[in-house]
Amino acid sequence: MRHALTTRPRPYGLAASLCLGALLMGCPSQPPPPTGPNVVLIVVDTLRADALECYGGRANVSPRIDALARQGVRFQAAFAHAPWTLPSFAALFTSLPPQAHGAGGNVREGWRALGEEHTTLAERFEDKGWSTGAVVNVDFLTAPFGMTQGFDDVDARISNDNQSVRRAEPTTDAALSWIDAHRIDGQESKPFFLMVHYFDPHAEYDPPPVWRARFAEAVDKQSTAFRFGAREHVVRHRGGQMPLDAATLARARGLYDGEVAYTDNAIGRLLDGLAARGLEAGTIVVLTADHGEEFGEHGSWEHGHTHYDELLHVPLVVRAPGVAPRVVHEPVGLVDVAPTLCSLASLTPSPAFRGRDLAAALRAQSGLPPLTCLTAYGNFWGAALSSWRDAQWKLIEGGPAPQLFAWTRDLREREDRASDAAVLASARASMAACLRALGAQIVHQGPIVRPDAEALERIHDVGYTDGSDGR
């Protein structure tokens, strides 16, 4: 691992100590610390919903997340707003669709940061006195991309390749260490907001031996000779030089499932750590993902390149004080997380947020506020795609031809209904109205990101290149 870009947590209580030392000099009185729940926002990179058993995935791959889902609210139909990390996280943080927040771009034209004019979820908590921290494992979640706004402390461990990333267990260690650094004599003197980013399901798929033995295909259970998801595989596949047969994809998927199982175990240890510190009852826990991963469902592999639901359908679980366990089948988007979290913590959501506040419905176990539409935007590898869905239809635009699916019935998105001119015209009109309502009818572009030479090399070495620079 080449780089560790870290802002160390400040010794908690330092300001109070300085004030006490200056008491005779007339130090101004400090406002009382806020009261309210802690928040732990867990985001697992590249975790498609159906990788988890509670979403119909493989048996025993996710026992700790499944248990969390039984304790809280599981949203069966939750969707990301972009098929890759930067614009998806920005939508989660700002409660704005990518067309409105402007973060994203693509590998050919360059990347766009989240502008400082936007209000983030972390800023809402920071402004109200919560301690805020983030543990992240990829360049796209660091300060040059505008993604640390509102976080007092950022523990970033950025790898120079797909093999030496900080794994799930050390990520959990970092999260628990941050929590401990913000306690005095084992007690919380003010609540905290902590975002924890796990990267393991992202390629390269290389689970530790115990999870490899449980979930890999038979030929790969004891051997690490088969590697999949390294930089050279991404570049060759994008260049059309690595066609993928079903057997190869099955082997890759087995290793991916092993990574999910390993991450699930580490998340369980984070949850156990909260309980051991007496924090479980007073902490809101949210688990979700920024996007999924394709394993040949529509003829390709990896992510960033389509708006099919193997990339947009993500898990969303919320466990919160005063919210009874249930399963919600109504569709929601990641833009709904920020206003809902604010309300669950008794904070007023930012007026700039465009997602729905679901807190009252969750507490009352009632139906959610009406869904008008969900939208997604972006394509890491080229010209942007856009998509829209309501409670029945899903429209994808920007490719060679529009595609239209009755997504609640056609879960695998196999039957393209775009040849029905009347239905297509109605969907297009509804998509336009949706974007107007969100203030996203004109695509906003955030400030261009100019990574330094080392960051650019890291990004390329992970496989985020189209190969045009000869790499």
Average pLDDT over residues 84-107: 97
pLDDT for 465 equals: 62
- Which of 35-39, 68-72, 176-180, 315-319 comes out lowest in average pLDDT? 35-39
More confident residue, 455 or 460: 455
Distance of alpha carbon 283 from alpha carbon 306, whole angstroms: 36
Q: Six-digit token pair at 259? A: 């990574």
pLDDT level of residue 20 (50, 70, 90 thresholds) = very low
On whether the CB atoms of residues 378 and 408 are closer than 8 A, the answer is: no
Predicted local distance difference test score (pLDDT) of residue 185: 67
Instruction: State the average pLDDT over residues 249-270.
Output: 97
Distance separating alpha carbons of residues 340 and 286, to the nearest angstrom? 11
Q: How many CB atoms lie within 10 A of CB 385?
A: 19
pLDDT tens for 166-209 read 999 999 999 999 999 988 767 777 999 999 999 999 999 999 99
Which of 105-109, 137-141, 210-214 is predicted with the least confidence, judged by mean pLDDT? 105-109
Least confident of 37-46, 309-318, 431-440: 431-440
pLDDT digits (tens, 9 = 90+) for 281-292: 999 999 999 999
Find where tokens 């809402």 sit. Answer: 124
Q: Cα–Cα distances in Å, from 71 out to 39, 65, 66, 244?
A: 16, 10, 9, 40
| pLDDT reported for residue 189 | 75
pTM of the model: 0.92
How large is the average pLDDT for residues 253-277? 98
Residue 30: per-residue pLDDT? 59
- Contact at 8 Å (CB) between 441 and 425? no
Q: What is the CA radius of gyration of the chain?
A: 22
**pLDDT for 242:** 80
pLDDT attached to residue 21: 41
Of all residues in the chain, the percent with pLDDT exceeding 90 is: 77
Q: Is a pLDDT exceeding 80 seen at residue 6?
A: no
pLDDT computed for residue 299 by the predictor: 93
pLDDT for residue 26 is more than 60: no
Contact 364, 105 (CB under 8 A): no
Is a pLDDT exceeding 70 seen at residue 252? Answer: yes
pLDDT of residue 459: 73
Residue 221, number of CB atoms within 10 A of its CB: 14
pLDDT at 4: 45
At residue 463, the pLDDT reads 63
pLDDT band at 13 (very low <50, low <70, confident <90, very high): very low
| Confidence band, pLDDT 50/70/90 cuts, at residue 2 | very low
How many Å apart are CA 167 and CA 173, to the nearest integer?
A: 10
Q: Is the confidence at residue 471, as pLDDT, over 50?
A: no
Mean pLDDT of the chain: 90
pLDDT at 137 over 50: yes
**Least-confidence region, from 169-173, 211-215, 220-224, 436-440:** 436-440
| pLDDT of amino acid 51 | 98
| pLDDT tens per residue, range 400-416 | 999 999 999 999 999 99
In this prediction, residue 454 carries a pLDDT of: 83
